[in-house]
Amino acid sequence: MRPLARRFVCALVLAAAAVAQEAPAILKVDVEYLTQYWTDWTGPETLARTPGPLVLPGPALNFNHGVQIGDIVAVNGIPARGLLFIQQQQILLSPTPAAGQAISDLDRGVFRLWTFEILKSEGSPIGSLFAQGLGGGPPPPGSPANATQGNIGITGGTGAFFGVRGGSVSGTPAAVPARNTSYREDPSLRRVHGGGRTSFIVQLLPAYRPEVLIGADGPVVFHEDYSPVTSSKPARAGEILIVYAKGLGFTRPAVNPGDAFPDGPAFAVVNSPIDVLVNGSSSPALNQLGVPGTTDTYRVDFRVPAGAAAGVMNVQLSAAWVRGAAVRVPVQ
């Protein structure tokens, strides 16, 4: 390659690196008791009346309507609660359709509107994600390797997922397929009759990420006596450190956008589950508070693992399973 051409290519590479696409956050949402209810009723007086369980005589017909209901039980391996609700219309698309199917350039099976409403394990709300798209067929480009089907796009979110900027939902191999039944079956008995057990991979671009503040001397991290952690006064294994951060999201009690966090006695506690990762391993947050008088500064306390090796440890914050960048903190 000629020198001029080589310089041109290098310039293109550097420019591409400067605008590199932000990596999405990935949530693996585990769902149990997943049940599909299909319209085979003869009148509104029959809806949700039959104790069941009912068994449909065959697959749902094209253009049929239905809903899916399932219980969220974990996100990224962390116990959680919540609801997966899907409104769906069968649309059997195929390049080689059988009678009753719809001809198309691609294979898809159903149109769906999705709602993930995620709660903490004790039942308090974290946030919701909304999505829509076509189920069945191959997953879209960029999907995780274990995604098996579906072309679903994120359309928005609330709570911890307020302001998400798109993404996708992909199915994974089901441990137990969703149970098919009729609109006539009483859904109050869904957990009694059982249902599917599966996981969904949700990729999203968050509006903000949790980040440790960086000052003139490096990460803003303090000992319990509020002296800064520095190379001359490093952290110690087993001690509690105070980290100052941004981008941890909404609090309890709520604060209007742009208003400062209140002072005690009622401090603003971060609503999202916060985790501190030290060299990739979890060290649960001991405090997660909005700093009084600020609008987007937070305090997170955590304990340095007892087995932390001397040198430098990587510290990274996670809020509602969305991770920020790691910072390097000296430890003795």
Please answer whether residues 183 and 40 qualify as being in contact, where contact means their C-beta atoms are separated by less than 8 angstroms: yes
Q: Is the peptide bond prior to 79 cis by the omega test (within 30 degrees of 0)?
A: no
CA distances from 276 to 131, 273, 293, 324 (A): 29, 10, 24, 10
Q: Which residues contact 4 (CB under 8 A, 6 or more apart)?
A: none
Q: What are the DSSP calls for 199-248, one per residue?
A: EEEEEE--S---EE-EETTEE-EE-TTSPBP-SSS-B-TT-EEEEEEE--
Residue 72 tokens, joined: 């969220």
Q: Give pLDDT, residue 7.
A: 46
Tell me the average confidence (pLDDT) per consecutive run of 10 residues in the chain, 332 residues long: 45 42 89 94 84 80 93 97 97 95 96 98 97 93 84 96 92 91 95 96 94 94 96 95 97 92 90 95 93 96 93 96 96 92
Q: Which two tokens stand for residue 134?
A: 């076509």
pTM score? 0.89
Exposed/middle/buried for residue 296 (C-beta within 10 Å: 0-12, 13-18, 19+): middle
Other beta carbons within 10 angstroms of residue 55's beta carbon come to 11
Structural contact between residues 137 and 106, judged by C-beta atoms closer than 8 angstroms: yes
Whole-angstrom Cα distance, residue 126 to residue 85? 16
